[in-house]
Amino acid sequence: MEAGNGNAFVKRAYAKINLGLDVLRRREDGYHEVKMIMQTVSLYDILTFTRTEEGIAVVTDKEELPGDESNLVYKAAKLLADTYGIKEGIKIELQKRIPMAAGMAGGSTDAAAVFRGMNECFGLNMTEEEMCALAVKIGADVPYCILGGTALAEGIGEKLTKLPDAPDCFLLIAKPDIDVSTKYVYGNLHADELERHPDIDGMREAIEAGNLGGVAQRMENVLETVTIKKYPVIQEIKDFLKANGAVSALMSGSGPTVFGIFETAELAEEALLKLEERGLAKQLFTATLINRAEVE
Ligand code: ATP
């Protein structure tokens, strides 16, 4: 953790993409059983922690994202304060840079950063396993965000297997001007009627072999069947990226964000300029993959 001004500490909360996303079935309790390859990317929010006398205060730089009890940052801080009987207070300032309602786990990664940040700030000495076991109460993707890097996620997303770092590549991340609710997408998915299932095991082998082509060739996300049907612009962006130098392109999570994989930074930059001109996406970023070791 970097030291901030005075007694403040700063943490980065990195976004994720799904290199592959399969839904195996809908459970009786309404949750979906998934099988996904998760990958941390170099787009991040910044959280600044300052110890105070008492209470939890969350301040954000986005009007549409209040720092109240609905914020996952607040929820994570409250869960930790209650679980560990922390008597002192904490102020957490959130600089939001990850697009919201985008399929990039923006909220989950902020919660994960609170776990890592408060663990250090208050000397809680939680192991990664202990943090993950508690973090799942906030959301199924939070344990993965604590781990970071390349991982296989199963169960409802909380059963994690660390994988070797995915092969290096360059990304163009594009979010069209729509917000998608994860609840809507899963609610409209007919898991038992899916015609195709991604080859997640094959992708895992390709990652283990360091074979970028093998990864790209297996990039599939079953949630596209719901989100693209409602928002065809997602398909347009995927096609545009593939026609403009991307080895492959996919919707991340429940969408609507699309990422393209490129072999060089120049190709990703060129595609960004062309897509900007074409006007299909409101937010555009180039990015790289972030390894587990870089997620402090
Ligand atoms: P996922 O990929 O996990 O489905 P997402 O990128 O689709 O996530 P988020 O940006 O994480 O979606 O958040 C969805 C909603 O959660 C937001 O619209 C917002 O109301 C709420 N939320 C609560 N706390 C946060 C936070 N710290 N950052 C972003 N959204 C938050």
Whether ligand 1 lies within 6 angstroms of the CB of 119 is answered as: no
pLDDT value for 296: 78
- Cβ(101) – ligand 1 distance below 6 Å: yes
List per-residue pLDDT tens for the chain, 296 residues long: 555 555 789 999 999 999 999 999 999 998 999 999 999 999 999 999 999 999 999 999 999 999 999 999 999 999 999 999 999 999 999 999 999 999 999 999 999 999 999 999 999 999 999 999 999 999 999 999 999 999 999 999 999 999 999 999 999 999 999 999 999 999 999 998 899 999 999 999 999 999 999 999 999 999 999 999 999 999 999 999 999 999 999 999 999 999 999 999 999 999 999 999 999 999 999 999 999 999 97
211 CA distance to ligand 1 middle (Å) = 32
Residues 6 or more apart whose CB falls under 8 angstroms from that of 12 comprise 44, 45, 46, 47, 113, 296
**Residue 256 near ligand 1, beta carbon < 6 Å:** no
The sign one gets for the Cα dihedral 26, 139, 45, 147 is negative
H or E stretch covering 58: strand 56-60
| Whole-number Å distance between alpha carbons of 110 and 119 | 14
What pTM value is reported for the model?
A: 0.95
For ligand 1, the distance from its centroid to the CA atom of residue 200, given in whole angstroms, is: 26
Number of Cβ within 10 Å of residue 290's Cβ equals 22
Q: Would you state the pLDDT for residue 4?
A: 52
| Atom 10 of ligand 1, nearest CA residue | 100
- How far is the centre of ligand 1, averaged over its atoms, from the C-alpha of 248 (Å)? 26
Q: Domain segments of the chain: what residues?
A: 2-163, 170-293
Nearest CA residue ID for atom 4, ligand 1: 103
Return the pLDDT at 283: 97
- In the CATH hierarchy, which fold is given to the domain comprising 170-293? Alpha-Beta Plaits (3.30.70)
* pLDDT of amino acid 6: 58
pLDDT confidence of residue 174: 98
Compute how many other C-beta atoms are within 10 angstroms of the C-beta atom of residue 83: 13
What lies within 8 Å, CB to CB, of 239 at 6+ separation is none
Q: Which of 12, 69, 72 to mutate to test the pocket of ligand 1 (most atoms within 8 A of CB)?
A: 72
Fold assignment, 2-163: Ribosomal Protein S5; domain 2 (3.30.230)
Judge if the beta carbon of residue 102 lies within 6 A of ligand 1. yes
The set of catalytic residues is 16, 141
Closest residue CA from atom 12 of ligand 1: 101
The answer, yes or no, to whether any atom of ligand 1 lies below 6 A from the CB of 182, is yes
CB atoms within 10 A of CB 5: 8
The finding on whether 21 has its CB within 6 A of some atom of ligand 1 is no
